[in-house]
Structure 1
């Protein structure tokens, strides 16, 4: 297999009439077969070739997750060009940087709003000959054309046959928590390796249904796109975050991948709702949760579950957990979590409910997929063993090093950074980790994000942040601080979707500024922090905290597009609050 387009061609030949993609329409959900996908991609590819796309060229996609993103991506690749991904939340300046740095000559934009963003920086885009708009109108000057108008003549199969496995397929700019974005060069073979590795695991089949909402601009979303083509799994696509819960109930998928923030939000919503109802429902829920977690922990230890506990768990399942599974359509076999660390508390809760989360790990630089827990041997707190063909080493300082076919070609136009990241042929991940006796990887923290207190003690902030979020259903984000300070502190933001109904029921103020200082809210957050502090070494306990009126967001620059905290941005924006913890 030489390329992603040839992989698609083989899929069409194998199962032409099987469902490929399902997507929202005016009448609910519409569907495309693999044969129809092939026809759409062929027409778009010949049209893009007519606009100048071809070998050695780059085409940027500035669009949210929808079926047209995948069709456009496959069409770009079929011309022999590489796709450059841009998050739709990126500013005009950020978009212009990616377009110019990548050398893109065509941009595919979602709508007139995104076109307007490009128009505002058009003078900075002299090499862009055309903008192709998905939902929008063509321009009088010919710079903007519509996706629907693309068509052309030519030998599609000859274009596909000319693509080599080492040709560039994708340029993904790492959002990063620090520094200027770098363009990660991933070849067709990088992606084909990951899809082959996942296929070998035997996790998925054509009888599955995948629900995709993840940003396709992110490497995790792109990996899922290629894997589903390889195995022939149909995918229901809708990138609207506010529709995830509704879509799960309507689509009834068998699996879904997500960032930990989604699982945290589901968990917190469920817990807060039950707390608000109180009474017998709360007592039953708490009992069911405790019973389920006892079972989960026994299984994790490899211990037998007593008959009485199994009976209790069956009752708990009927009263509580089955209802939760029904909210997700009732067919979920497992979830997959990646892009950031998953709290063990969250993992245990979902597993108790019969909704196992398989945590995995990878970087954009390793084509997103390097490690994954297997359903039959899930170990919470680890990201599982490596995928078949991926090699791993732990350096003397604890840094995780990865080797294999999934490793990037390099950073675009940055030879020194490439040499540093790929020293001696191993990808230096920047993560600290260890391998257990079964070869499963445990990530303990980011190498550059470990806190070293003024007393010389190291603290892993992301571990504490995940524990606190799991303990407090009203928390949206937690930022643990304390590098070169004499103790550890925290900033907490509120999830207003969860907090507002609770505040209303309790007669608390609805204004976030008033709410954050209210004794009841501070008591709830403080209780969660005390709970986490109870089993930490003294130097790792959070001594003081503040609740912020506004959440961290991608738009304010405090989160990356994959919802990871940009630590320096938070420190800069909230420096006065952080400094106040240490005054006097």
Structure 2
């Protein structure tokens, strides 16, 4: 039986728990109780007239109610549409109309037709409704998910049950989550992959702790998870904090890592954006093995490093059921036995055709190669290749990674408005900004680069955040927005730090 169908087929074994933590508060439930509560919610949805294929919208921060609504939707064959409150500023009524929602649950202060408060979900009384017997076929779609929106308005696609099953089965084969594990989730549950770990807990019998990004550090110290699911930006920020604390106290990297993450970490997971190799080395050397992977919303997980098959610098071996094809331009294309989707539901004209190709192939737009042992290496985005006026093509990601190795630089984007020289737009890691350290990092990077790859100057930006629109909801730099916002400083010959 598939993972999704095991989720909906009946209650889990008792003894494993779902915990939800926010700043100043934490609650915990046995997964059997979560299952029972989700049945009440499913009966309530049926009472509202929700039927198979209808869309249930959720615009709210991570919570028990979020989990209950998602499980309830699975149990009546409805479609969960998760909206990140930090990314969607439309009203509830606008979301209902735009995405064809049967009902929207939100923690925002809104009253409109088909918009309901999410807080009431937990307190629903037992329902007399008889839930249907549900079987999800591989091509059916339990979730409407959205792209990160790092390069324009969010696009949406309907994700197949088969793609969820194949990804969870592959992850379980690699990492064997089970009794004794507690997977820590703090990214928004509106991201479908973050909900995978709830499904995994129900099926494979482990704990799961859900928090928010703001409460992550405080929760880690008390939750003592065995697995942390994070994006590179989180680990880079945390690594800088740990290094500063070790320097200040004289403690070893392992000692300060235990203070933050607890003493039960089995491994750390990262993906969704390029990870700084220095950050990966730091955590592994501190006794916290961290495994980088690769995937897109349009492909789900494609490749993953894991114990027994880990090659630093790569994003891992390609998963079973996935095939990576490198085209003549060096672009990674992915074909899956169980595709996530074959088109976008909401996108500009031509965007579906550009991403989804005949034969179930997805053109990722990332440059990469496979080595002789089948490990995938990603070099950067095809769109982020800079062509100089002399015709030289520059891949900016390796240059950005060199600069980000500096402790004074949290993130950066390399651009070239004149086509003659490169300029780095930098998000500082500390305040006040350490300009001398940044200048030294620029000199060191340029010394290791070819002449055409050298960066002429660094422009200091505001810190890149989701709130100011310079990071996506998955904490990737929004390159076009950053370049547009700081163009005046980039082109001004008097601005910037020079080597």
TM over 0.5: yes
Structure 2: runs of 5+ lacking an equivalent: none
Tell me how far apart the structure 1 counterparts of residues 398 and 149 of structure 2 sit (CA, whole Å).
Answer: 19
TM-aligned CA deviation for residue 340 of structure 1: 0.4
Tell me how far apart the structure 2 counterparts of residues 267 and 202 of structure 1 sit (CA, whole Å).
Answer: 24
- Equivalent position to 2:229, from 241, 257, 264: 257
TM-aligned CA deviation for residue 484 of structure 1: 5.5
Where do 1:101-500 residues align within 5 Å?
101-109=98-106, 111=107, 114-116=108-110, 129-135=113-119, 148-149=123-124, 152-158=127-133, 160-161=134-135, 163-239=136-212, 241-275=213-247, 277=248, 281=250, 319-367=252-300, 369-404=301-336, 405-412=338-345, 416-424=350-358, 425-472=360-407, 474-482=408-416, 485-495=419-429, 499-500=430-431
Q: Residue 455 and residue 416 in structure 1: after superposition, are their counterparts in 2 closer, same or farther (change >3 A)?
A: closer
Tell me how far apart the structure 2 counterparts of residues 24 and 9 of structure 1 sit (CA, whole Å).
Answer: 25
Tell me how far apart the structure 1 counterparts of residues 286 and 39 of structure 2 sit (CA, whole Å).
Answer: 44
Residue number in structure 2 paired with 1:7: 6
TM-aligned CA deviation for residue 202 of structure 1: 4.2
What SS does the aligned partner of 1:528 have? helix
Tell me how far apart the structure 2 counterparts of residues 464 and 11 of structure 1 sit (CA, whole Å).
Answer: 51
Residue number in structure 1 paired with 2:59: 62
2:439 corresponds to 1:526: yes
Structure with greater helix share of residues? 1
- Equivalent pairs, count: 492
TM-aligned CA deviation for residue 222 of structure 1: 3.0
TM-aligned CA deviation for residue 324 of structure 1: 2.2
Q: Residue 157 and residue 105 in structure 1: after superposition, are their counterparts in 2 closer, same or farther (change >3 A)?
A: closer
Residue number in structure 1 paired with 2:28: 31
Tell me how far apart the structure 1 counterparts of residues 208 and 267 of structure 2 sit (CA, whole Å).
Answer: 15
Q: Residue 396 and residue 383 in structure 1: after superposition, are their counterparts in 2 closer, same or farther (change >3 A)?
A: same
- Contact conserved, 1:187 with 1:409, CA < 8 A, in 2? no
- Contact conserved, 1:451 with 1:484, CA < 8 A, in 2? no
What SS does the aligned partner of 2:149 have? coil
Tell me how far apart the structure 2 counterparts of residues 11 and 96 of structure 1 sit (CA, whole Å).
Answer: 35
Tell me how far apart the structure 2 counterparts of residues 34 and 224 of structure 1 sit (CA, whole Å).
Answer: 13
- Contact conserved, 2:317 with 2:376, CA < 8 A, in 1? yes
Tell me how far apart the structure 2 counterparts of residues 226 and 430 of structure 1 sit (CA, whole Å).
Answer: 30
Tell me how far apart the structure 2 counterparts of residues 25 and 266 of structure 1 sit (CA, whole Å).
Answer: 19
Q: Residue 529 and residue 98 in structure 1: after superposition, are their counterparts in 2 closer, same or farther (change >3 A)?
A: farther
- Contact conserved, 1:343 with 1:381, CA < 8 A, in 2? no
Q: Residue 466 and residue 322 in structure 1: after superposition, are their counterparts in 2 closer, same or farther (change >3 A)?
A: same
Q: Residue 26 and residue 488 in structure 1: after superposition, are their counterparts in 2 closer, same or farther (change >3 A)?
A: closer
Q: Residue 197 and residue 97 in structure 1: after superposition, are their counterparts in 2 closer, same or farther (change >3 A)?
A: farther
Tell me how far apart the structure 2 counterparts of residues 377 and 153 of structure 1 sit (CA, whole Å).
Answer: 50
Q: Residue 487 and residue 225 in structure 1: after superposition, are their counterparts in 2 closer, same or farther (change >3 A)?
A: farther
TM-aligned CA deviation for residue 172 of structure 1: 1.0
- Contact conserved, 2:146 with 2:155, CA < 8 A, in 1? yes
Q: Residue 482 and residue 416 in structure 1: after superposition, are their counterparts in 2 closer, same or farther (change >3 A)?
A: closer
TM-aligned CA deviation for residue 534 of structure 1: 2.6
TM-aligned CA deviation for residue 77 of structure 1: 2.2
Tell me how far apart the structure 1 counterparts of residues 23 and 424 of structure 2 sit (CA, whole Å).
Answer: 46
Tell me how far apart the structure 2 counterparts of residues 44 and 389 of structure 1 sit (CA, whole Å).
Answer: 34
Residue number in structure 2 paired with 1:546: 459
Tell me how far apart the structure 2 counterparts of residues 556 and 232 of structure 1 sit (CA, whole Å).
Answer: 40
- Contact conserved, 2:3 with 2:168, CA < 8 A, in 1? no
Residue number in structure 2 paired with 1:535: 448
Flag the structure with larger Rg: 1
Structure with greater strand share of residues? 2
- Residues 481-508 of structure 1 deviation map (CA, whole Å, 9 limit, x = unaligned): 126521111122223xxx35xxxxxxxx
TM-score, normalization by structure 1: 0.78
Tell me how far apart the structure 1 counterparts of residues 199 and 226 of structure 2 sit (CA, whole Å).
Answer: 18
TM-aligned CA deviation for residue 366 of structure 1: 1.4
- Contact conserved, 1:58 with 1:82, CA < 8 A, in 2? yes
Tell me how far apart the structure 1 counterparts of residues 440 and 351 of structure 2 sit (CA, whole Å).
Answer: 44
TM-score, normalization by structure 2: 0.91
What SS does the aligned partner of 1:156 have? coil
What SS does the aligned partner of 2:318 have? coil
Measured on the aligned residues, the alpha-carbon RMSD in Å equals: 2.6
Tell me how far apart the structure 2 counterparts of residues 320 and 411 of structure 1 sit (CA, whole Å).
Answer: 45
Structure 1: runs of 5+ lacking an equivalent: 123-128, 136-144, 286-318, 501-514
- Contact conserved, 1:191 with 1:226, CA < 8 A, in 2? no
What SS does the aligned partner of 1:30 have? strand
